Amino acid sequence: MVEPAPPDHDADAHDEDEHDDGHGDAGDDGAADGSPGAWHARMPKVLPTLLPGAPSWPAVFGRRAPLEVELGFGRPHFLLERSAEVPAHDLVGIEWKGRWPAAVHARQARGAFPNVRALHGNAWLLFGSLFAPSSLTWIVLNFPDPWWKSKHQKRRIVSDAFARLLASRLAPGGRILVQTDVASLLEEYLARLEAQPGLQNPAGPFRLAPRKPMTASSHREKRCRRDGVPIFRAVLERVDYVDAAAKAGPAA
């Protein structure tokens, strides 16, 4: 069972993100008149689909560096703080509300955050083709689901298929950080992620991470801390390479 986070951690004031229907806000993603066909108009804008292959991120960033991804970054507090925390890493954020990538782009127009690329689109559609297998050092999911009711389960970003995809994109030793203020959601995520053959929870099955592995904080995370709402967070690590090395035995 998921155990409560230590007392110095967290709380949540639910902001407008969670009242969103999760399909992009009408203000920047399309029609919101509720008329037949409006749903299609409200689909998030995405990069051209069916990319021929993952982009060369070293070519995009102009260097070869550990690559991290934040999915559903919303207000880009974490993405930008993490950029400063690990300037030697490159960071890609994917968010389907257009105003948040635009906010990052506006900051970058002034020359800041060269190690960040903020993409506007649906992480579900984009993630698999944007990143090559075994290429990511960190995948971060900060408060990923505005829809926490069980009837919304089909909308959850961490489906079984997506958990498999996440695991496949981690480099050996790469890790996933997932945090939420809804304990039952973390249990769902862990059930799916820990079921992946190459993923292990170093704290033990269904256990919370003993400490936060990075300093940067998302907007929602800060709200939780401010309001005394518990945060539930876990780290999963890709360990299959360790098993393979152990099976191979000592080097000759």
Ligand X SMILES: C[S@@+](CC[C@H](N)C(=O)[O-])C[C@H]1O[C@@H](n2cnc3c(N)ncnc32)[C@H](O)[C@@H]1O
Active-site residue set: 145
Stretch that binds ligand X, among 85-93, 205-213, 217-225, 228-236 (CB under 6 A): 217-225
Binding of ligand X by 180 (CB under 6 A): no
Q: Which of 19, 20, 68, 13 is nearest to 222 (CA)?
A: 13
Binding of ligand X by 143 (CB under 6 A): yes
| Beta-strand relationship, 170-180 and 232-238 | antiparallel
Cβ neighbours of residue 37 under 8 Å, at least 6 residues apart?
Answer: none
What is the per-residue binding string for ligand X in 3-32, x denoting contact by CB under 6 A?
--------------xx---x----------
- Total residues at interface with ligand X (CB under 6 A): 23
Residue 189: CB minimum distance to ligand X, A: 13
Q: Specify the residue for token string 């498999």.
A: 164
Stretch that binds ligand X, among 72-80, 109-117, 168-176, 202-210 (CB under 6 A): 72-80
Token representation of residue 65: 């560096």
Binding of ligand X by 113 (CB under 6 A): no
Binding of ligand X by 97 (CB under 6 A): yes
169 CA to centre of own chain? 13
Residue 166: CB minimum distance to ligand X, A: 13
Binding of ligand X by 117 (CB under 6 A): no
Residue 154: CB minimum distance to ligand X, A: 13
Angle of helix 160-169 versus helix 183-194 axis, rounded to 10: 60
Task: Choose between 115 and 142: whose C-beta lies nearer to ligand X.
Answer: 142
What is the per-residue binding string for ligand X in 155-174, x denoting contact by CB under 6 A?
--x-----------------
Question: Which sign does the torsion angle of CA 20, 26, 32, 37 carry?
Answer: negative
Binding of ligand X by 73 (CB under 6 A): yes
Binding of ligand X by 122 (CB under 6 A): yes
SS3 content of the chain, % helix, strand, coil (to 5): 35, 15, 45
CA dihedral 150, 192, 10, 120 (to 10 degrees): -80
How far apart (Å, rounded) are the C-alpha atoms in residues 213 and 100?
A: 24
Binding site for ligand X (CB under 6 A): 17-18, 22, 72-75, 94-97, 122-124, 142-144, 146, 157, 218-221
